[in-house]
Every structure is written in structure tokens, then in C-alpha cells.
């Protein structure tokens, strides 16, 4: 049996159904089956090579998307990619659709120039 005193606090706009259970539209909006899309899991693996070499492998689900060789990067770019900001930057680039090394390298250069401008402006 439904407690009628409780129904007066819930307006008719937010009540769905006439069964024993009252579902709120607010609860129904928390999960939408239409938006149930499985996004790819993106991960970055850093490999330290001998002679101070670096390699980054970026995976989407189980397949390798991009390999970034540390030999082809400058020292500042390598230091940037070793940090947390660099890893999150690589993940954002792959989510945005970057598929080639040259595209990522140019994006890294732009990002480093932006951070350099911000640090010089703060001084």
C-alpha cells in the first residue's frame, strides 16, 4: 500500500507510473540507455631503454596505436612526456584522433611554447 502522505510532497511532474513503486524523473535521468557507449581504454606505457633512451607506446583497448621514439625528440620534449602532464597530454591527443608521430610531435612543440609563455608572463 502506498503512503498517501508521501505523495503530496512529490509533484505530478516528477511522478511516473501508477504501480506500487513511484519512479522519479530525476532518478530516471541519471542513467540513459541511449548514451550507453563503450569508450576505448587508452593507456600509455613508458619504456626506459639503455643509454638513456625512452620509448612510449600508446594503446587503445588492446591494440597499439602509436609508438613514440625518444631519440626523435628533444630533451625538453622527453622530460615533458615523462611527467604526469605529458602522459595526460598523450591520452588527450589520442582521444582527439592523433594517428601519427609527426602530428603528436608538432602538438608537443605547441604545448611547450604555450607553457613557456605562461611561465614568462608570471615573472
pLDDT digit string, tens, across residues 55-90: 999 999 889 999 999 999 999 999 999 999 999 999
Cα–Cα dist 26/29, whole Å: 5
Region 103-107: mean pLDDT is 94
What is d(CA 116, CA 76) in angstroms, rounded to the nearest whole number?
11
Angle subtended by helix axes 75-82 and 84-96, to nearest 10: 90
3-state DSSP assignment of residue 69: strand
The pTM assigned to this predicted structure is 0.66
Grid coordinates of 60: 587503445
Amino acid at each position: 500500500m502506498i503512503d498517501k502522505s508521501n505523495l503530496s510532497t512529490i509533484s505530478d511532474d516528477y511522478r511516473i507510473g501508477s504501480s506500487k513503486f513511484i519512479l522519479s524523473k530525476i532518478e530516471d535521468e541519471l542513467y540513459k540507455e541511449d548514451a550507453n557507449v563503450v569508450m576505448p581504454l587508452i593507456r600509455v606505457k613508458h619504456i626506459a631503454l639503455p643509454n638513456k633512451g625512452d620509448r612510449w607506446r600508446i594503446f587503445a583497448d588492446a591494440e597499439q596505436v602509436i609508438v613514440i621514439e625518444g631519440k626523435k625528440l628533444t630533451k625538453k620534449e622527453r622530460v615533458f612526456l615523462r611527467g604526469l602532464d605529458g602522459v595526460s597530454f598523450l591520452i588527450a591527443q589520442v582521444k582527439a584522433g592523433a594517428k601519427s608521430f609527426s602530428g603528436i610531435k608538432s602538438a608537443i612543440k605547441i604545448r611547450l611554447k604555450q607553457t613557456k609563455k605562461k611561465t614568462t608572463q608570471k615573472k
